[in-house]
Each structure stands twice: as structure tokens, then as C-alpha cells.
Chains A and B, each alone.
Chain A
């Protein structure tokens, strides 16, 4: 199952990576000259590959046979009854390695092979993109080095072990705040020195051109599949779609197929952390300012002098002080709406989905669930029970059990999970 949707949209970047044209200036390429040749080479290889039916067919076959695509579109009936509207979940949590990220890394690694490079590098926050990159590298027989903030290697020891088992080298990054943004800096430093034989598997739809568009092309299967599945099963398009937005790869992967469907409201939910009225959040579009970070002009959490401010989210995968430039463009044009969801709301949604559907979502995805429930309640009032909200369940929550144990006090004989979520009347 792939796409009958037009490959291009009116929200695409121009050939130099500007979303909305250079005068609006989202995206672009703010990079050292030393990397420009490699980015040009990558751009050309990506264009060639996407126009080559044999590449596209190979990518589709790997996604199907190795990674389990297409992921199901699941009608969450008990949850739907609670909110009075139809909630559809795009089950990216069922993919190999447990999240949408496998699509991006398999696409980029296949492109790496095509370009004749033998080594890949990647950055990772919680380790999900690192594990996915190590997986793709193992699949294709490529050397793999993953840069990970030293703070994160301690918080996510299990993922470090996974990467090791998969044969990747993990380099703890001590510089700066020793988290995701610094891991990106260090990966870029590696790339400057290794670019002749190394590809940088960028983990999200951000960074310099062509990454925002290239990553979108490899993740847009989420929306292409979901749109076709929804039409096929229900004969209608959803009224609204929802995804969480950190860097924004799962969100752009879902949104792209629906951008030209004017009747479909598009919602991105940003990590509101402890609240956007506190300094501890990562709601970049909601609370950031226009700036340049990691090669693109986008919204950035920054101080008055343009120094990047450390972000916070309970979800490591959303904990990034920038955002993909196409999201900045979609926000600026009004095509998509970006709203914060706090740590507490996300954790509540995590518990709710676990107990009503038997699905433990990643905390990232729980942000999308929490936001989608808000949207669904509003739509239910307007349209009644036929209102449909399609949510990207971008990943599963196994990796987040440590956080959940701490948050809910799980594992005690009398667990202190709020009982509110189960005792609400169902239906």
C-alpha cells in the first residue's frame, strides 16, 4: 500500500530549501562551506532516487518485509466512546523497533548505499533514532557511530546497550548541555571531517536543506497510508489529524498527505513541559522566536542574544529547542495549528490509552493523544459521534517505563495511578 496522493504540495520548499520562498526565509541552509558539497551531493542523490522507480520499489519492499508496513489504522472504540467522537490511531508503534523512525533511517541508509558510502553517523536524544540508525546500519552492513549526550547515555542505558548489541559505536557527548542539541553539534563536527565516506542520518525533519524535505519524503508514508486506509474503511477523510511535534518528523510524515485537503484540520502538539509560562518546556513554535539553529531558519528557543535555551520535556524525543522549518511555515501560513501539551497532560493520556485500549504509547505519542482528545471533544460538540480524529501513535512506550514508574509510582503493591481515568463512565 503506498500512495495515490500527489507527490508535491503547495507547501513544499523551493530548490534551495526555502519554505514559503526566500523572502519568508524558513529553512534554507546555514552551514559551513566545508559541508555544502556533501549537502549538494545528497540533494542530487535524493532527487535521483525519488525519481527512480526501482529505488522507490526497493524502499517499499524493505518497509513491508522487514519493518512491517503499512502499519494498521485502528479504531480505538472504547476511547472513542469516552470522548463522543471517532478516534483513529495510526499504529506506528507496531513498526519494527517500535516507532515511525525506522522509515526515515531505512530510507536514508538505502540512499547511503546508493551513494556508495560505507559509514553512517547519527545523533540521538533518548536513543530511539540511535537504535533505529544502528538497526538500519546492521541491515545494510554499514559502519555506524551514534552521538548521544552524556546526560542521555546515563538516563537511557538500555538504548545504549541496544545500540551496542546492534554493532554501533556510541559516543557520549560532554560538550554544551550534553543533550540532543550537543549531540547534533558533535555529529556535524564528525561529518565535516569524514564527509567523503560518511553519510549523516539526520533524525528529524529539521537541519539544513535537503534534510527537512528528504526526511519528510521518507516518513510521508505514514500519512499516505493513513489517508488511503481512512478512505477505504470509512469512505471519508478525517475532520482533523494530530501528531506530536519535537523536531517534527512523525508530524510531517502524517501531515503531508493531507496538506491539500482543505477540510482536514491539522494539529501539531508541542511539548509544554511544566507549562509554557515556566522556563521548562520545549514548545518551540508556541513560545520560541525566529532564528537559525542547526542549519535552518525556524522557530528557536533562544535568549535575547540568540543563544539557544535548553529545552525541557518529560519526553526525551520531543526535548529539542528547534523545530523543522516546514512546521514553521505551516504555522505561519495557518495551515496547521500548534498547541502545547504539558508533561502532566501527556502522562494522563498515557495512562488513559493504556487502560482503555491496552496500548502503552510512547510519551511523545501521548502528547498527540492528549491534544487529539481536546480536539475530538470540541468536534463532537459540533458534529456528533461521526466526527473523526486521526492520531499518529508514533511509537510504543516500553522505553518510557522508567519515567512511568517514577511518575505514577508503579510497581508498588498499591499502585498510585490516578483512578480517574478508569472510573469515568465509558460510553
Chain B
């Protein structure tokens, strides 16, 4: 990993280049640990600027059917928290900032300080916490600060301005804006809730704002990234990538090709904005 490459510097570079960053998500352990690493490296090679690795969890309340299916398959194959950290290490070695997206209980079970320490030593950049808000997160905030890890909390269309201020003040790396009221999953149109949410978030912070939930092609990425439009600093894609792998469950190489092609389309999209 090249010294000095952090989530913040990657977003800053993208901003300097006049484009949005492409943030790609896949769960660890699907189709298996090695296959998951191959898929994540494909995202890096084909143009993702930041990587999110999902920690498969038995009760993922924010995830739609696509991500649930992959995470459940990974769990049924016996993926462990240590496998997730191993995956982080393999992906972070590419020099691309690599965060873990996880529901809270597995971190608490591992031990928050220990998880932070082990994530940092694996080269991980930080955590995205879909069911942990800053007002419930003193232990994680302390551990992240100790290890210089990114703390990415979520804002939603339903968040009050007060909560957006509180949440963004606690973030490091970027702010994750969930642009639809609903679970993860590819959608054919981007939400009209994205624009106002990005604007309200930017009014509260100078941190980059990544917009997630529903993006599945380059045109949507361009729409989110448009400087004169929604103006997202990052376009976050998850379910559409997972779908590539699920659709080619019998042919891993075809799955990786589909993943690479979609990444390239999205990478063009974030540059068209």
C-alpha cells in the first residue's frame, strides 16, 4: 500500500480530477474466501477507488434479497470474522482504501478494541456501520480514534438537520448517504431523495459524501455524480456487483468478467458527471 493513500486522499484526488469516486461493495466469503478476494481485486483492477467489504451476518436488516443471498451463502460455507480480516488484508495490499461494512454485533462479540486493532494491522481503512449511529457508538469512536480508522456513519432522507450535523461531526473518511428509504438493492431509477439529502449533508460538513443504495449502471452513476446536479462525491455500488456473482454462480470466470465490465461502465459514469 503506497504511503499516504487514505480514504480521504482518494476522495480529494477524485475531487481534484473533477469527478466522483467509485466505491464498490462485496461481501467477504462469497463464493468462498479466495473467490471473494478475487472478486474484490477485480473491482480494484477495473476502476473502483474505494472498497467496502461486507461482513456476513445472520440478521442483516438493512439488506435486500441480493446481498442477503450472498451473505447467507458465505455463512453457510462457514465464513468467520477472521476470514473477513484476511480478505481485508489481501485487498488493502493493492493500495486501495479498504473499509469493512458490518452490522454491530459481530464487532462487539469480537471485542471492539481488538477488532479495531486487528483491522488496522490488516491494513483496513475503517468501518461503515449500518446499524450503529454515533450516539450509540462511544466505544467504537474511541477505538477508531486510537487507531486512526475511518468512521463512516449513515445519513438518511429521514434524518433531521440536527442529526445530520451530529452524524457528520462524528464521521471520518466520508459520509454515507442512503439515498432511498429502503433496503439495499439495484433500482432502475435513482431516487429523487438523493439530491436534497446530499445538499443537506454538504451544508453540514466538508467531508465527501458517498451516495448509496440502488445504483446499477454507468448512467445512474453519472446522474449521481453530476456536478451541476446531485453532486455526490462518491457513488457506492453493492447489490449490482453481487448480482454479477450470483448470476454466474456456476462459472466464476464469467462472473469476474461481468464484474469487471460493470465496474468499467460505472467508472466511466462517475467521470461523466
Contacts and interface: CB of A to CB of B under 8 A. Distances in A.
A307 B80 CA distance: 10
Nearest to B182: A193
B159 A30 contact: no
A185 B105 contact: no
Interface string A195-219: 1100000000000000000000000
10 contacts: A29-B133, A34-B181, A36-B133, A36-B156, A193-B181, A195-B158, A292-B131, A300-B105, A305-B110, A307-B106
B65 interface: yes
Interface in B120-147: 130-133, 135-136
A195 B178 CA distance: 15
Interface residues of A, number: 37
A50 interface: no
Contacts of A302: 105, 109
A360 B62 CA distance: 41
Contacts of A175: 65, 68, 72
Contacts of B104: 30, 292
Contacts of A31: 131, 133
Nearest to B82: A305
A374 interface: no
A291 B61 contact: no
Chain A binding surface SS class: mixed
A28 interface: yes
Interface in B68-113: 68, 72, 75, 80-81, 104-110
Contact of B105 (A16, A32, A196, A292): A292
A304 to B, nearest CB: 7
B106 A306 contact: yes
Given A293-B105, A308-B59, 10 more contacts: A28-B136, A29-B133, A32-B62, A34-B158, A37-B158, A185-B59, A196-B181, A306-B105, A306-B110, A307-B106
A182 B72 CA distance: 12
B61 A185 contact: yes
Interface string B49-65: 00000000111111011
Nearest to B69: A175
Contacts of A29: 133, 136
Interface in B221-256: none
Contacts of B153: 33
A192 B105 contact: no
Interface string B175-193: 0001011110000000000
A185 B68 CA distance: 11
A193 B59 contact: no
Interface residues of B, number: 41
B24 to A, nearest CB: 21
B216 interface: no
A397 B132 CA distance: 40
Interface string A167-203: 0000000011000011001001100110110000000
Contacts of B58: 176, 307-308
A38 interface: yes
Contacts of A16: 135
A36 B131 contact: no
Nearest to B56: A307
A399 interface: no
A78 interface: no
A195 B181 contact: yes
B154 interface: yes
In the complex, which of the residues B105, B154, B156 has the most CB atoms of chain A within 10 Å of its own CB atom? B105
B214 to A, nearest CB: 12
Nearest to B106: A306
A162 interface: no
Nearest to B68: A175
A294 interface: yes
A33 B61 contact: no
Nearest to A186: B61
A29 B106 CA distance: 16
Given A33-B163, A37-B160, A175-B65, A306 B109 contact: yes
Nearest to B57: A307
Contacts of B160: 37
Contacts of B108: 291-292, 297, 306
B133 A176 contact: no
A29 to B, nearest CB: 6
B220 interface: no
Interface in A291-323: 291-295, 297, 300, 302, 304-308
A176 B156 contact: no
Contact of A30 (B106, B131, B180, B181): B131
B72 to A, nearest CB: 7
A86 B174 CA distance: 64
Contacts of B81: 305-306
A32 B109 contact: no
Contacts of A291: 105, 108-109
